């Protein structure tokens, strides 16, 4: 896809997540609307002038196949792409959650919660732990769980990445380790304090 940001073209796959500052969420490029804004590295809001495919036809005329690659930067979740004099905040193409120190405990307590959304039964840590993490990663990558920003669960704890959707709140460390899974609006989720000005 050709993503026209204020007259500068970024060529990207349709599913690569950019920060849509108009909608205040990470969105796939093909879900942007003309007139939406992206966030530049200096904080400016840059207008999206259009989303075009390789044939320079207005979307969604996807009637061809070309090789395309998403860029994933190890160790960080967001970065800026630069085209001309313009930059735009983007998210790594794939989120791949890893198991943190508390994963066993949280897997045992949260497997039924995730199962209520996916329809799967996650019974044993050794057999289903990797699938549990992969299913959450897939939900983030598909946009079912949307990054809302950074927040804290309790005073004194480090900032965590907060994703919400499908009735769930996913909490991860900045490095992508699974922290916990909560039901939106209940228990600890209601106590999450979102931090201001901490997009990705």
Q: What is the pLDDT of residue 55?
A: 44
SS3 48: strand
Residue 74 domain boundaries: 2-91
Task: Record the pTM.
Answer: 0.57
Residue 200 lies in a domain: no
Q: What is the pLDDT of residue 61?
A: 46
User: pLDDT class for 56, splitting at 50, 70, 90?
Assistant: very low
**Residue 53's CATH number:** 2.170.16.10
Query: Residues 117, 47: one domain?
Result: no
Query: Residues 133, 170: one domain?
Result: yes
Percent of the chain with pLDDT over 70: 81
For residues 128 and 130, give the distance between their C-alpha atoms in angstroms, rounded to a whole number. 6
Do 77 and 89 contact (CB within 8 A), yes or no?
no
Query: Residues 81, 121: one domain?
Result: no
Q: What is the pLDDT of residue 177?
A: 84
Mean pLDDT of 119-130: 92
Query: Residues 168, 151: one domain?
Result: yes
Phi-psi region of 182 (alpha: psi -120 to 50; beta: other; left: phi over 0): beta
Q: What is the pLDDT of residue 86?
A: 84
Query: Residues 85, 102: one domain?
Result: no
Domain count, the chain: 2
Poorest-pLDDT segment among 45-49, 68-72, 104-108: 68-72
Residue 19 lies in a domain: yes
pLDDT exceeds 50 at position 110: yes
Q: What is the pLDDT of residue 64?
A: 55
Q: What is the pLDDT of residue 12?
A: 83
Reported residue count of the chain is 200
Mean pLDDT of 119-146: 90
User: pLDDT class for 200, splitting at 50, 70, 90?
Assistant: very low
Query: Residues 29, 81: one domain?
Result: yes
Query: Residues 129, 158: one domain?
Result: yes
Higher per-residue pLDDT: 187 or 177:
187
Query: Residues 67, 132: one domain?
Result: no
Higher per-residue pLDDT: 65 or 15:
15
pLDDT exceeds 80 at position 150: yes
SS3 8: strand
């Amino acid at each position: 896809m050709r993503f026209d940001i204020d007259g500068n073209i970024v060529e990207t796959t349709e599913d690569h997540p950019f920060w849509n500052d108009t909608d205040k969420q990470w969105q796939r490029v093909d879900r942007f609307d003309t007139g939406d804004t992206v966030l530049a590295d200096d904080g400016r809001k840059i207008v999206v002038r259009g989303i075009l495919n390789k044939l320079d036809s207005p979307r969604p005329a996807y009637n061809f196949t070309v090789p395309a690659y998403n860029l994933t930067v190890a160790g960080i979740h967001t970065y800026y792409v630069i085209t001309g004099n313009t930059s735009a905040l983007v998210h790594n193409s794939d989120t791949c959650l890893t198991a943190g120190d508390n994963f066993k405990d949280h897997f045992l307590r949260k497997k039924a919660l995730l199962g209520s959304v996916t329809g799967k039964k996650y019974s044993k840590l050794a057999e289903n732990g990797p699938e549990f993490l992969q299913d959450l990663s897939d939900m983030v990558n598909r946009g079912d769980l949307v990054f809302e920003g950074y927040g804290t669960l309790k005073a004194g704890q480090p900032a965590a990445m907060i994703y919400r959707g499908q009735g769930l709140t996913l909490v991860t460390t900045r490095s992508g380790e699974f922290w916990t899974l909560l039901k939106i609006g209940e228990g600890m989720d209601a106590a999450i304090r979102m931090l201001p000005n901490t997009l990705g």
